[in-house]
Structure 1
Amino acid sequence: GEPEKAHIRRIYGRIKMIPSGDGEFLEWGDVFCAYLGTKADEWGIPEAAVAALEGFRTEYRRAYTAAQNPNRGKADVFAKNEARAAYETDVRRFIQEYIAFSHLVSDDDRILLGVTVRSASRTPVPVPSTIPSFTIGTAVLQHLSIIFHDENGAGEAKPFGVHGAEILWEIRETPTENQEDLTHSAFSTRSPYKLAFTGDQRGSRVYVCLRWENTRGEKGPWSAISSAVVP
């Protein structure tokens, strides 16, 4: 409600992202995670990513509390610093991947999270015009690994302004060159992406194609369809 939002704004009026003080950082993280918990599903953030962030926060709180004990030792302070470094690293990665550039997250949401709002005067994000270049490899049993990058880039590079790749796939007995024949979809912000299958699908041939999507949800052209056998 409005009282809670006012409280959040008071907190962010005092501290910056990310706060340098250990106590302030702990408070910042508590508010960040509390608001995130009400929005993660709406923003399409994986439960595993939220759970991992919560794990880092819990460990930092434990280490921070131990380091506040008057009888603390050097090991307690060291553990607190290590826990903070790990937590802060994951927070920054999380914000970059799921918050800063997502078209599902509004600027008001970013303010309530304590995340810096990007200036509207920055270079406009273009509609993707290139296609993802990808290979399909074996990850582990009953899994395929989709390894992708821009056709004009190298390694895991994505074009400027691209949030991730939309992936279409389908198990078929006959080849196809029509994306509409691929009825399953997924979205990945990083390469590789792992497709999981059931035991009775082993030996089947799966057909896959990808396209880029920018931070405003605008989509580029589809790649050609490739295929591989489920291990």
Structure 2
Amino acid sequence: MADYIPANDGQFGAWANNLMDYASGHLADLGLIAGDLTELINMQADYNAKITEHITARQTAQSARQAKDDSRNEFKSAIRRLVRQLQVSGNVDDPQREAMGITVADTIRTANTAEITTRPIGRVDTSQRLRHKIRFVDEATSTKRAKPKGIMGCEIWVKVLAAGAAAPISGDELSFVFMDTASPHIVEYDGNDGGKMAHYMLRWVKSGGQKGPWSETISATITA
């Protein structure tokens, strides 16, 4: 048989308050005297105080968690700005990048790209604010998600410019973003980049370091 006392705190409080109000207002009808309810009235007051404290503490915890999340997101955005500055600085070398735990680009260049004859085709999803989701497939098998045989991953490079500025024409003008082994890759931007254009170039990379030809430039607005 189901318990007549509700298990949920909110429902229990409403149910108990109703019971106590009814009993207090109908003592004679129920064959009770005031003393029969004295202990319960004290317990009712204690419970109502404790449940109020509990609700307040829970709301405070939720507020603190939101404040923590907001602080973390602002901190991450500031870190990304600094790292972008460091990545294009001529004063920062790869050992320093490794020491800081930031991405180290594979800068091995080889004239022998004959083994990689195809290029990635990229598509950028700009539906989310300050975020680009970059999907890539091979131009020879554009209806399939698989990378070409022997390919380790896809290098993603970018240059962010003001809207209307001329797009870069060479990979040498871009900064390394990431080498991803699977599509899609997510790139996040901070608020200062909102409304600007991100110009991407992609290329396949083999595990031995061989790099394929650059893709066509893929330009996308950074949604503010």
Q: Which has the larger radius of gyration?
A: 2
* TM-score, scaled to structure 1: 0.44
* TM-score, scaled to structure 2: 0.45
**Which of the pair has the greater relative contact order for Cα pairs under 8 Å at 6+ separation?**
2
